[in-house]
A and B are shown apart, each in its own frame.
Chain A
């Protein structure tokens, strides 16, 4: 009996196989490249919702942090309040804008129009 490698060489299917034709190679290559393209595109777009979500979370966190550091405007929303200081006998008008800016007007008691 012949050695295994001789038997294999004689029976090698590549002895009669011309290999892949140019057309087969082109079709296969196109399929592979398209798969790579689809995968890359899917990967790129897959990250976009994540990025949008991350930006939203950051914006909300920044808003909360800023809000905590600003004085509350709940008690003085565009409502003028007079708060005269008895000691100095000066009259003040304080009000805050919705944005949180507080405006204080101090009336000069010596002013007589």
Chain B
């Protein structure tokens, strides 16, 4: 009985290792596009895998299911952090959402503005925009990945684009 328990323990740990090896590059790419900095992206990826490590039984079997689970957890962590900042911001308006570090050159300032506009979007909307516009995922694929309907994805895409344009036209003031 003890030997069986130890074997299943080893299996679970090996599975988490394999999960990390398979998914960390793709998860980091998504995290980097959702987070304001490299450090935040690293934190997001680590926290996502730590959640998997803490409850390995909740991670579904199969590469695509694993990926969808990890993406959902990552987006949820983003949302939690975003909400925490929103609450703090409600009490202290001087607190801002995490944004990319400022760049001195004008081209980089423009880039920074675009990314700042993206970072101003709610995390799920931001994730949908990144998955569609940058990763080239289809609407049904995003819907499956985030466990939402295709209509919801389309709505977030439309609203997200409009919000970004509004922010960019106003010169980055959100």
- Residues on A lying within 8 angstroms of B by beta carbon are 1, 4-5, 7-14, 17, 19-20, 24-25, 28-29, 31-33, 35-37, 39-41, 43-44
Contact = CB atoms under 8 A, between A and B. Distances in A.
A29 B19 CA distance: 10
Q: Top 5 closest A-B pairs, CB basis?
A: A11-B114, A36-B53, A11-B111, A35-B53, A36-B16
Contacts, number: 100
Contact of A32 (B5, B50, B111, B112): B50
Contacts of A32: 16-17, 20, 46, 49-50, 52-53
Interface of B: 5-6, 9, 12-13, 16-17, 20-21, 24-25, 28-29, 32-33, 38, 42, 45-46, 49-50, 52-56, 100, 110-112, 114-115, 118, 129-130, 133-134, 161, 164-165, 168-169
A36 B25 contact: no
Contact of A7 (B13, B100, B114): B114
Nearest to A18: B38
A7 B115 CA distance: 9
A33 B17 contact: yes
A16 B6 CA distance: 44
Nearest to B56: A36
17 contacts: A4-B164, A4-B165, A8-B114, A12-B33, A13-B33, A14-B29, A19-B25, A20-B24, A24-B42, A28-B20, A28-B24, A32-B16, A32-B50, A32-B53, A35-B50, A39-B53, A44-B9
Nearest to A27: B46
A37 B32 CA distance: 28
Instruction: Determine the main DSSP class of A at the interface with B.
Output: helix
B20 A40 contact: no
B114 to A, nearest CB: 4
A19 B33 CA distance: 12
B53 A20 contact: no
A40 B114 CA distance: 44
A25 to B, nearest CB: 7
Contacts of B133: 4-5, 8-9
Contacts of B56: 36, 39
A41 B168 CA distance: 51
Given A10-B111, A36-B13, 7 more contacts: A4-B161, A7-B164, A9-B134, A28-B42, A32-B49, A32-B50, A44-B6
B55 to A, nearest CB: 8
A10 B168 CA distance: 14
A39 B24 contact: no
B28 A40 contact: no
B168 to A, nearest CB: 7
A40 B165 contact: no
